[in-house]
Structure 1
Amino acid sequence: MIKRSKKDTNNNESGSRHALPPDFDPEVPSREVILQYLRANPAPISPETLATALGSSAASIGFDRRLKAMERDGQAFFNAQGQVLLNNQLEFIAGKVQGHRDGFGFLLRDDGGPDLFLSPREMLKVLHGDRVLAKPDGEYRGKPEATIVEVVERRTNKLVGRFLKERGAFIVAPEDQRIKHDILIASSDTGEAEHGQVVTIEILQQPTRHTQPLGRVIEVLGEIDDPGMEIEIAVRKFDVPHEFSQATLQQAAKIPATVKPSELKGRIDLRDVPFVTIDGEDARDFDDAVFCTPVDMGTEKRKRPGWRLLVAIADVSHYVRPGDSLDDDAIDRGTSVYFPRRVIPMLPESLSNGICSLNPDADRLVLVCDMVIAASGTKAGSITAYQFYEAVIHSHARTTYTDVWAALQQPSGPAGQAMQPVLPYIQNLYQLYQLFAQARIKRGAIDFDTLETRIVCNPLGKIERIEAYSRNDAHKLIEECMLAANTCAAEFMKRNKRLGLYRVHEGPTPEKLKSLRDYLRNLGLTLDGGDDPTTTDYARLIKAVRARPDFEVIQTMCLRSLQQAIYSPEQAGHFGLSYDNYAHFTSPIRRYPDLLTHRVIKSVLHGKRYVPKLDDIAAAAALPKGEREHALWEKLGLLLSARERRADDASRDVEAWLKCWFVKEHVGEVFSGRVTGVASFGVFITLDTLFVEGMVHVSELGSDYFQYNEAMHELRGERTGIRYRLTDAVQVQVSRVDLEARRIEFRLVKGTGFKELKASMEPEAPGAKRVKRAASTKPTALQGTTAQQRRAAAKRSAKAATPGKTSRSGKAGKTSRSR
């Protein structure tokens, strides 16, 4: 059971029992406070007047030292009269701190420039996620380094970790490996926590270069191996909202469970139309229902065959209005978060699984995208006309991908018989899908074929097995219907000159394109298109290599070269799908951007204009009206893109935790696998039968010097000639599982695959660089998980650190109706 500590009074004892440096004066205003005052009061000011204005003693030695330190770092300077001024000449770099598990970090610059290395010493001042100002400070191993001069915003005020008692002191070791500080807890602030338990703490005092952070326990989550603990940790670790406000729950409780007759006014009545939903077996919220029938196109004399496709989407915007409690919680979440066996919904269940869900045999309010698609000629599979309108439907059947595919293959079989009343309309959908598929090929959309896996858990929430599954044509049928509706929504906003959020997926950056071309060149392959390849160029390459044994690797490299999809008011198209206009419209129950698209469309239908409101964008108030509206949408796009990534990070963290628990039962066992990632410090292996990835450290590859060729993604032994490349088959033994780091370690079985891995005598590939000789045992940085060991490992690892990110193989994602 999760226990929350009672609200305590202010505890002045917590900081007194920890020794501070002799020159540390807690009464001295921080740099942040001094800088804020100097910005607000730019006129020269004497140190004494400044100290008094900030509530400090004019004779304070600590205050004088702080001003001199700020002068040394270029933040302030003294004029000839000895007065203090803000140094506006020095250009500081603003950005966000990204911690690393080995103690160092990076500054992710707001201006998009190259990341700056932050030494472990600099990381003592901050926590992962803090926003800072920094100044460039030389280089570290050829990469730019920075010194933090001001913490602009503290982003970590709460965190989750293990409560430990070490040598009479209480500490919390954060679960987030990017935070290397142990949080000191006063004995009066431990609540009911016991040694080893997982707790949530509130930060009472942020870290400085001289002091550790202080905190107090506010919640006891339980033991580390309690069922569902991995989810409790993830939602707190990534700050995922997981409890609805009382106001939201009260508002949701007042919404009727059925559609009222008064709500049908102004809506098209489609309750007699045999709409169906097609989803997975475990789906509970049904955003969309579909119906398809043949139609005649053209004039009476020149009739042409066509299809009419109706995609009905839950009218969530009817129930969730701008500015109400439901809306506040929905935008705070941004999206539903999916874990094995549990969902953190964007909306309360009474809406997501109830009145908004298009459940069978129930009246539901919807927003319909009604499309006409050509069935022949040069425009076959293209949408020739569409319209949006509000309606009410009555879903005639809830079907699954498995049953629909079985019915399409054998209409007279059990599945076909069970859905006999709606089977003709499903067969219509399948014929339309085949047209869509042909049009997809014609427009040059990339057809990536990635392996997808599904985690099957036991009643206790632990992994029972991980299994591969393939998407059948029923999945693809629904996906194409959703893609069609999404393109219409984007085109509708554009045609009516309304701002909104588009789903933007841009092509490769010049740097990523060069990396991909270098890799392909070494394989004797080329990507057409010069400096600006199109989706068709990518699709042509993927098709050409589909029969190759290294197809999966080439496909992965192509995927890595593309940018991440985001939400933006700038319509830049969707590169992967080869659409000029694309938005998210079909999942308003689980995605806030879709809800915004509904509001824009409905405002047009009602002759109005929808403009979102954000409390935290005061700077936009000074802009002209048109620019102000654009700034609001731009801010929303950034916000919702970040919340989408937050949900993905939390889901991946839970999956990594579960996989570590799963593999713990197999330590010492030998498995076959394939190389799915190569780095200078080792190779990543995915097991063929368990579908989990782990690392073989370079120290386990044998007593040889290994050269890392970044262009070829290859490690090659200088003496033996053995090389490890993507897709190489190997045999490994599970040697260690580190649950804290979510890391699985393998040991290469001696002699495995030597003939296959032994390279022929050929000249050394360009771009290869010599890496550290393999040691006979694992480096200390990979051992031990206690706080003391981790701190020591951080110092050692920082010496060998090189700024940048190691790219690893892409993971199989969830099946998505619209991308």
Structure 2
Amino acid sequence: MTDSHFPGKDAILAFIRSSTTPVGKREIARAFKLSGSADREMLKDLLRELEADGAVERGRNKRMAPPQSLPAVAVLLITGVDADGELSARPLTWTGEGNPPRIFLLPEKKSRGEGKPLAVGDTLLAKLARINDRLYEARVIRRIDGEREGRILGVYRPSADGGRILPTDRRHKTEFLVLPPNRGDAEAGDLVFADILPAGRAGQPQARVVERLGSTDEPRAFSLIAIHAHGIPTVFPHAALREAELAAVPALMQREDLRDIPLVTIDGADARDFDDAVWAEADSDPENPEGWHLIVAIADVSYYVRPGSALDRAAYERGNSVYFPDRVVPMLPEALSNGLCSLRPGEDRACLAFHLWIDRNGVLIRHRLVRGLMRSAARLTYEQVQSCHDGLPDDVTAPLAESVIAPLFGAYARLAAARAKRGTLELDLPERRVRIDERGRVAEIAVRERHDSHRLIEEFMIAANVAAAEVLERRTMPGLYRIHDRPSMDKMEALRGFLADIGHPLGKSADLTPSHFTRILRKVAGTSHAPLVSEVILRAQAQAAYSPDNIGHFGLALHRYAHFTSPIRRYADLIVHRALIRTLGLGVGGLDDETLGRLAEIGEHLSGTERRAAAAERDAVDRYTAAFLADRIGERFSGRIAGVSRFGLFVRLDESGADGLIPASTLPDDRYDHDEAAHALVGQRTGRTYRLSSPVKVVLTEADPVSGSMLFRLADSD
């Protein structure tokens, strides 16, 4: 029983979150007047529970802070200066998810005759104070001597005193001076890597060109910027290329012959590789009335990419393929990714195939995995399959309409019903599609359409992924699960408060499920609150990851889930294939003992390469979008507020999905407070409120293709 004087979890969590620096047990005990060994033990247990919930993290000095907080004292690198001369910085080292919090430096208290002022590229030791989860203030303790650390990617421009480098990273607000001896072979408009040097005259930050990457006049440079900025490997070792070139389709031998089954691939019209094929029929087993028999066949990458080989090392380093509007950086060499591992129609291909049986309710009742040889009957697109299902077949789909496509939709209807019943999180998030013309320029940016044919493939893949996880778990075989944790306690409480404020309370149940969120989304569908509620629920979710420790997939409402269906482009799927081959005794290419001992490390690495790829893809799309809109400066657009910070409003345009910033300094005359809980900026004098997801009319004032950044101002009518 808890003593009446002892604070609850919420009170202690609120104290930790309100502190500007990490706190220890001594500060907490002093704040709540706790004393004695009993109190100390209770506090220790409560902090351990908060840490297990993910509500706080324990630093090296055992002091507690909200997740991904920075320490009280840290080494910083100054990265930019705004128009008002305010310096911003980042931690010199950052191991958390996504980008580090923003740090603004408080003005230095200088004595007369003191040294040069701080400038971009300086390294310093600073005392940090947390404003909120994403923002800190820093007070300089001392500079750290020596050359500035860091390397920038930027565009070289000649100038009277040598040249300038304009960083491609939008967080860098300052140009770097390049003196003639430091220019290298850079020409006007070249994309270059440069080392940051100590400040020169009048504190002007300097840089030295170390590598020339090519001209930014070439539209395809936007993807190149993203590739280099995020450190994505692009060149395969000679040994890996040789292994890929020497590979060949295996003979049938012990494999199951699937070549007479009309498996088909269904992908986007712009797909570069085809690693999954599907087929379905009504189950003839009288014990399974109205049930279905499905086959999901996946390219047998494990046959060609063996543990410890040059191909394996190169694939692991990449972690996954990265997709840009104009190119792909593949995880495997083209001889495999677009050749032997791509399920081309009419060609024999090695595969791993799950036979899946579902009942009339769409529940997976049994499954069997085989190593087979298949021959795709057709390469179909989502649009083709949907048109055929809607009664408008073309020359390719007409012969397949009754025998192949209709059964696929029959099985899908059962799987969709099962999905609805178990209550998954149904967030309909639009995806931008950038279409490039023959000259490499943006022809169109539009929201990608989603059809039932897309959902059909998703449900078939989910069924196969569940089957893979079930095999691993049933046989106690270590592997990698795709895990998605429940939202953290602090995010849930913030979400509850927000939803209650707009009249849609979320129950206090400690056992919230995705269906609770989906019910609220259905309630607000079609109302003015719908976009806002979707956005806030999305932001409350945890980030999915790879781990050998299965905690289930919260968003899909599944107890076990493992990625199995894309080994051409995801190394995690290759690990799962190898684990299945080993535990089921399916031949060569199984998981090796060395990998078994490193699964936790591998999961962390692959979660990181996945985030790296997503960030690079997003950056490239932002740059292409900025280039597409660069000649529309001054035009009006409609959009919605997609983010709120003390610096301004982030707006997403309805027409293209483009994102840009309305600086707070350009908002109607007032001083604005950032109401973090309400996701809003509120005018102190007028009460004028700008809230997340509110519709706005804006005028485009700046579009920079090199950095991918855009600036807006509110249209006069707003």
- Per the alignment, in what secondary structure is the counterpart of residue 285 of structure 1? coil
Select which of 692, 708, 718 maps to 1:726: 692
8 A contact 2:323–2:617 mirrored in 1: yes
Q: Where do 1:32-181 residues align within 5 Å?
A: 101-102=80-81, 103-107=87-91, 117=103, 119=105, 137=127, 139=129, 145=138, 159-166=152-159, 168-169=161-162, 172-178=165-171
Moved more, 447-456 or 529-538: 529-538
Structure 2 distance, partners of 1:318, 1:229, is 36
Does residue 192 of structure 1 match 2:185? yes
Residue in 2 aligned with 1:663? 629
Select which of 242, 251, 270 maps to 2:243: 251
Structure 2 distance, partners of 1:116, 1:695, is 16
Structure 2 distance, partners of 1:270, 1:148, is 69
- Per the alignment, in what secondary structure is the counterpart of residue 699 of structure 2? strand
Q: Where do 1:621-700 residues align within 5 Å?
A: 629=596, 632-700=598-666
Structure 2 distance, partners of 1:634, 1:96, is 29
1:669-708 residue CA offsets vs partner (Å, 9 max, x unmatched)? 1223333333333223333323322222223222233343
Residue in 2 aligned with 1:278? 266
Structure 2 distance, partners of 1:740, 1:455, is 17
8 A contact 2:307–2:591 mirrored in 1: no
Structure 1 distance, partners of 2:357, 2:520, is 33
Q: Classify 1:482/1:407 alpha carbon distance in 2 versus 1 (closer, same or farther; 3 Å).
A: same
8 A contact 1:672–1:687 mirrored in 2: yes
Tell me by how many angstroms 1:118 deviates.
7.4
Residue in 1 aligned with 2:307? 322
- Per the alignment, in what secondary structure is the counterpart of residue 284 of structure 2? strand
- Per the alignment, in what secondary structure is the counterpart of residue 355 of structure 2? strand
Does residue 238 of structure 1 match 2:223? no
8 A contact 2:274–2:342 mirrored in 1: yes
Residue in 2 aligned with 1:354? 339
Q: Classify 1:539/1:414 alpha carbon distance in 2 versus 1 (closer, same or farther; 3 Å).
A: closer
8 A contact 2:153–2:229 mirrored in 1: yes
Q: Classify 1:693/1:144 alpha carbon distance in 2 versus 1 (closer, same or farther; 3 Å).
A: closer
Structure 1 distance, partners of 2:367, 2:581, is 15
Structure 1 distance, partners of 2:309, 2:461, is 29
Q: What amino acid maps onto 2:339 in structure 1?
A: G
Residue in 2 aligned with 1:454? 433
Does residue 405 of structure 1 match 2:386? yes
Q: Classify 1:488/1:207 alpha carbon distance in 2 versus 1 (closer, same or farther; 3 Å).
A: farther
Tell me by how many angstroms 1:564 deviates.
0.8
Q: What amino acid maps onto 2:340 in structure 1?
A: I
Structure 2 distance, partners of 1:126, 1:694, is 24
Scaled by the length of structure 1, the TM-score of the pair is 0.70
8 A contact 1:95–1:110 mirrored in 2: no
Residue in 2 aligned with 1:522? 501
1:467-491 residue CA offsets vs partner (Å, 9 max, x unmatched)? 2233111111111000000011111
- Per the alignment, in what secondary structure is the counterpart of residue 248 of structure 1? helix
1:554-592 residue CA offsets vs partner (Å, 9 max, x unmatched)? 011111100111111110111100010011100001111
Q: Classify 1:458/1:564 alpha carbon distance in 2 versus 1 (closer, same or farther; 3 Å).
A: same
Task: Give percent identity, aligned residues only.
Answer: 36
Q: Classify 1:512/1:387 alpha carbon distance in 2 versus 1 (closer, same or farther; 3 Å).
A: same
Q: What amino acid maps onto 1:382 in structure 2?
A: V
Q: Where do 1:527-676 residues align within 5 Å?
A: 527-606=506-585, 610-611=591-592, 613=594, 629=596, 632-676=598-642
1:428-449 residue CA offsets vs partner (Å, 9 max, x unmatched)? 1111111111111111111112
Q: Classify 1:687/1:144 alpha carbon distance in 2 versus 1 (closer, same or farther; 3 Å).
A: closer
Tell me by how many angstroms 1:724 deviates.
2.3
Q: Classify 1:596/1:529 alpha carbon distance in 2 versus 1 (closer, same or farther; 3 Å).
A: farther
Structure 2 distance, partners of 1:120, 1:473, is 54
- Per the alignment, in what secondary structure is the counterpart of residue 599 of structure 2? helix
- Per the alignment, in what secondary structure is the counterpart of residue 593 of structure 1? helix
Structure 1 distance, partners of 2:73, 2:674, is 34
Scaled by the length of structure 2, the TM-score of the pair is 0.79
Q: What amino acid maps onto 1:198 in structure 2?
A: L
Q: Classify 1:424/1:607 alpha carbon distance in 2 versus 1 (closer, same or farther; 3 Å).
A: closer
Structure 2 distance, partners of 1:466, 1:171, is 32
Q: Classify 1:468/1:116 alpha carbon distance in 2 versus 1 (closer, same or farther; 3 Å).
A: closer
Structure 1 distance, partners of 2:137, 2:696, is 38
8 A contact 2:177–2:207 mirrored in 1: yes
Residue in 2 aligned with 1:287? 275
Residue in 1 aligned with 2:411? 432
1:532-554 residue CA offsets vs partner (Å, 9 max, x unmatched)? 42222222222222232221210
Structure 2 distance, partners of 1:428, 1:640, is 36
8 A contact 2:700–2:712 mirrored in 1: yes
Residue in 1 aligned with 2:26? none
Q: How many correspondences in the alignment?
A: 628
Residue in 2 aligned with 1:383? 364
Q: What amino acid maps onto 1:284 in structure 2?
A: R
Please tell me the root mean square deviation across aligned C-alpha atoms, in Å: 3.6
Tell me by how many angstroms 1:652 deviates.
0.9
Q: Unaligned stretches of 5+ in structure 2?
A: 1-59, 64-70, 82-86, 109-116
Structure 1 distance, partners of 2:593, 2:180, is 48
Structure 1 distance, partners of 2:331, 2:648, is 40
Structure 1 distance, partners of 2:572, 2:350, is 19
Tell me by how many angstroms 1:213 deviates.
9.3
Tell me by how many angstroms 1:713 deviates.
2.1
Q: What amino acid maps onto 1:194 in structure 2?
A: E
Q: What amino acid maps onto 2:380 in structure 1?
A: T
Select which of 735, 740, 743 maps to 2:701: 735
Q: Classify 1:124/1:268 alpha carbon distance in 2 versus 1 (closer, same or farther; 3 Å).
A: farther
Tell me by how many angstroms 1:611 deviates.
3.8
Structure 1 distance, partners of 2:491, 2:682, is 24
Structure 2 distance, partners of 1:643, 1:374, is 38
- Per the alignment, in what secondary structure is the counterpart of residue 573 of structure 1? coil
Q: What amino acid maps onto 1:665 in structure 2?
A: D
Q: Unaligned stretches of 5+ in structure 1?
A: 1-87, 615-628, 753-819
Q: Classify 1:473/1:90 alpha carbon distance in 2 versus 1 (closer, same or farther; 3 Å).
A: closer
8 A contact 1:105–1:120 mirrored in 2: no
Tell me by how many angstroms 1:730 deviates.
2.8
Q: Where do 1:193-212 residues align within 5 Å?
A: 193-201=186-194, 203=195
Moved more, 304-313 or 725-734: 725-734
Tell me by how many angstroms 1:168 deviates.
3.4
8 A contact 1:291–1:425 mirrored in 2: yes
1:29-63 residue CA offsets vs partner (Å, 9 max, x unmatched)? xxxxxxxxxxxxxxxxxxxxxxxxxxxxxxxxxxx
Tell me by how many angstroms 1:199 deviates.
1.6
Structure 1 distance, partners of 2:373, 2:661, is 54
1:141-161 residue CA offsets vs partner (Å, 9 max, x unmatched)? 69575879999xx99876522
Does residue 220 of structure 1 match 2:212? yes
Q: What amino acid maps onto 1:387 in structure 2?
A: R
Structure 1 distance, partners of 2:413, 2:430, is 23
